[in-house]
Structure 1
Amino acid sequence: MSARDARTGPARDRASAKGRRSGAPTRTGNARSDRERAGNARPSARRAGSARSGATPPGDGLVIGPVPPLARVTGALLVLAGLAGAAGLLPTYLVVGGEAISQATGIGGVLVGLLVPVAHVAVGGVLLRGAVPKFGLAYAGVAAALAGGQLLIEIYRGSSSTARPGVEVLAGNLVLTSGIETGPGWVLAAVALALTVVAGVVAALAWGRTVMEDGGALDSARSVLAGAAVLLGVTAVLSLSLPAADVPDRIVTDPATGLQTVVTQEGPQALLERPGFALLGGLLLAGAVVLCSVVAPSLRPRLAVVGGLLAIAVTVLAAGLTGLRDAASPDLEWTLPGAGLVLAGVGYVALTITAWRLRRG
């Protein structure tokens, strides 16, 4: 019995050793297959990660959260303001001295008059779709700040300008504001400005509830943009304070002596020379241009800067082109402030494009 156990004992040990040797490759093979499966899984994870990172432009990293309903309401108000402004171009704007005047006459006048309404409709449509909401909100806020002063000036033209009659330029016509009657064009223009102001108020309420951020690609250029915008704002204010189109001086020749004398004719009133609502509106407009030029480049994200600068650009450029259109009248000539206003508007357009192009770090 002990001999059999002695014989079977080593045999059993050898069998166990063979089993261990044969089992080792099996475990090694299982570990190798696990590593291969893990290696196959890692590239797919890297591919998924690269696909997610490619969804946003490099250097922009734009993140947009849920769009609040107030942002879409702002877009709807901007669209309505643009449609009202465009509809008010062709009907009778004012009746001065029995003569009906429209805001836009001819193709050039219509194109100039459509600049701001088309911008309102385009940006409002973007807000209605819920795309890049802070772009539209910044546009609405800046446009409302500028429209507040314009609304007061519009009220003065239609109601208070007869209190102190003076020479004015309305749609390229040199008129004396001794008697004025408002028309549907004036009503639509005032409604468009009022809707723009309301849109700005709603945009201010929606701003803090809107989540939209980027990677800060514009941060290094904000100080340069702000300095250039303030310089353009001061230029625009100085140009706005004087008429963009004025009456030229008349040269009178004495038939007896042949001596020529320059006679100064009374021209349109400067913006800050008018009383009442016009003076208040002019001061508000001038202050809003400078203030918005400071605030717009500091907005976040980058597309909010683009929206704020775009609102200033279309407003200033439209005012400058309106003066250029008025100067086409045979009774008027283009002035240096009018040229400065156009240059300021073009400068704001260049700043807007620059902020748009600096979307990559």
Structure 2
Amino acid sequence: MVARDGSTRDRSTRPEGTTARPSARRAGPRRPPEPAPAVPADGLVLGDPPVLARVTGVLLALAGLTGAAGLLPTYLVIGGTEVSQSAGTLGLLAGLVVPLTSAAVGGGLAAGRVPRFGLAFARIGGVLAVGLLLIELYRASTSTVRPGVEVIAGQRVLTSSVDVGSGWVLGVVALGLTVLAGVLAMAAWGRTVMEDAGALDPARPALAGAAVLLGVGAVLCLVLPAADLPDRIVTDPTTGLQVVVEQEGPQGLLERPGLALLGGLLLAGAVVLCSVLAPSLRPRLAAVGGLLAIAAVVLAAGLGGLRDAVVSDELEWTLPGVGLLLAGIGYVVLTVLAWRLRRTPAR
């Protein structure tokens, strides 16, 4: 009789009626793992832009096209002198900076691409356009109340009488559309979904500080004429003494009365305020759009001063004009830095 001991049990035998368990591994070819979805470098999240944002883009594009069309016909007839803003290549370039930028950004916003970039551009551009609109209304309406010397498109004119041209009308319509687009952009901002991983956050304080310095410098340069008449040296024929005679040059931004003074104050305050606001906009591309709007306006003003000095034989480019052009270039550099300063989030 064999003892039932665990050591003598045949473990290789199985009781009848039992089946072997199937292996967990399946025979056949293995499927390759599905690739992970691509994530943007800065973690950008985009939602469907609201209809109000697309309408803002349409208005912004129309403003750009209207402003560009207004450069060709007669701008104003001042004291019997016809003035056109497209005098020379440099004049055309200075006049096209803001319209072409607005048309390009507005077209992208109307198509629904990176909506907060376009909305930020429209917001900042609309605030800046308020002061410019008041200055344009002054030129065509109340500038004859206190006649003075003005330099428009490189021509030195006396505002004894002013007649409106179709170029001025198109320019005012463009500014009005820009202001309206800015109002709609503020209304559509909270309804637009667009966020990133905060790649620009560490650099925002430095960008804001640099933008404020540029804004203060631009305002100081805007106060004085970018192109002015040099002083004349007159020699007395009897005594031979030379006397310096000051010539009446163009009026500064804050030397004009009424609507022009109000527009100048609003423009100066808007440049500084928007320089503080633009680098803080989220996401990163919104800050780029805000800085781009300031850069376009300041650069156009700087190029306009250079155009006045180049076109006219009587005018000289002043130090404030040089500073204004450098401020515009500085804003362009800040815009490029805000666009390029980003890091890849850790996966």
Question: Does residue 1:165 correspond to 2:158, yes or no?
Answer: no
32, 41, 49: which one pairs with 2:25? Answer: 32
Question: Does residue 1:104 correspond to 2:86, yes or no?
Answer: yes
Question: Does residue 1:261 correspond to 2:243, yes or no?
Answer: yes
DSSP-derived class of the 1:163 partner: coil
Amino acid of the residue matched to residue 48 of structure 1?
Answer: P
Structure 1 segment 20-59 matched on structure 2, within 5 A? 23=19, 26-27=20-21, 29-33=22-26, 40=30, 44=33, 47-49=34-36, 52=37, 54-57=38-41
Mapped partners of 2:156, 2:91: distance in 1: 16
Question: Does residue 1:354 correspond to 2:347, yes or no?
Answer: no
197, 207, 218: which one pairs with 1:236? Answer: 218
Matching residue of 2:268: 286
Matching residue of 1:202: 184
Amino acid of the residue matched to residue 265 of structure 1?
Answer: Q
Mapped partners of 1:113, 1:229: distance in 2: 24
Amino acid of the residue matched to residue 157 of structure 1?
Answer: R
Deviation sequence 1:8-29 (CA, Å, 0-9, x none):
xxxxx99x94347984xx42x5
Judge conservation of contact 2:90–2:303 (CA < 8 Å) in 1.
no
Question: Does residue 1:18 correspond to 2:2, yes or no?
Answer: no
Deviation sequence 1:166-209 (CA, Å, 0-9, x none):
11111111111011101101101111100000000010111000
Moved over 6 A (4+): none
Higher helix share: 1
Amino acid of the residue matched to residue 328 of structure 2?
Answer: G
Matching residue of 2:253: 271
Matching residue of 2:308: 326
Matching residue of 2:325: 342
Unaligned runs of 5+ in 2: 1-8
Give the CA RMSD over aligned residues.
Answer: 2.0
TM norm structure 2: 0.92
Matching residue of 2:100: 118
Structure 1 segment 130-209 matched on structure 2, within 5 A? 130-209=112-191
Mean alpha-carbon deviation: is it higher for 107-116 or for 292-301?
A: 107-116
Mapped partners of 1:142, 1:319: distance in 2: 16
Q: CA deviation at 1:91?
A: 0.6
Deviation sequence 1:333-353 (CA, Å, 0-9, x none):
111110110010000000000
The 3 A distance-change label for structure 1 pair 254 and 66 is: same
Mapped partners of 1:96, 1:233: distance in 2: 32
Judge conservation of contact 2:83–2:152 (CA < 8 Å) in 1.
yes
Mapped partners of 1:170, 1:109: distance in 2: 10
Amino acid of the residue matched to residue 125 of structure 1?
Answer: G
Amino acid of the residue matched to residue 40 of structure 2?
Answer: T
Q: CA deviation at 1:257?
A: 2.6
Mapped partners of 1:20, 1:56: distance in 2: 62
Give the percent of matched residue pairs that are identical in Structure 1 and Structure 2. 67
Amino acid of the residue matched to residue 360 of structure 1?
Answer: R
Mapped partners of 1:120, 1:348: distance in 2: 16
DSSP-derived class of the 1:272 partner: coil
68, 72, 92: which one pairs with 1:90? Answer: 72
Q: CA deviation at 1:48?
A: 2.9
Q: CA deviation at 1:256?
A: 2.3
Mapped partners of 1:55, 1:294: distance in 2: 31
Mapped partners of 1:153, 1:99: distance in 2: 20
DSSP-derived class of the 1:356 partner: helix
Mapped partners of 1:144, 1:19: distance in 2: 88
Count of residue correspondences: 335
Q: CA deviation at 1:99?
A: 1.5
DSSP-derived class of the 1:196 partner: helix
Mapped partners of 1:141, 1:18: distance in 2: 82
Mapped partners of 1:108, 1:292: distance in 2: 27
Q: CA deviation at 1:103?
A: 1.2
Matching residue of 1:307: 289
DSSP-derived class of the 1:162 partner: coil
Deviation sequence 1:78-124 (CA, Å, 0-9, x none):
11101110111111111111111111212221111111100001000
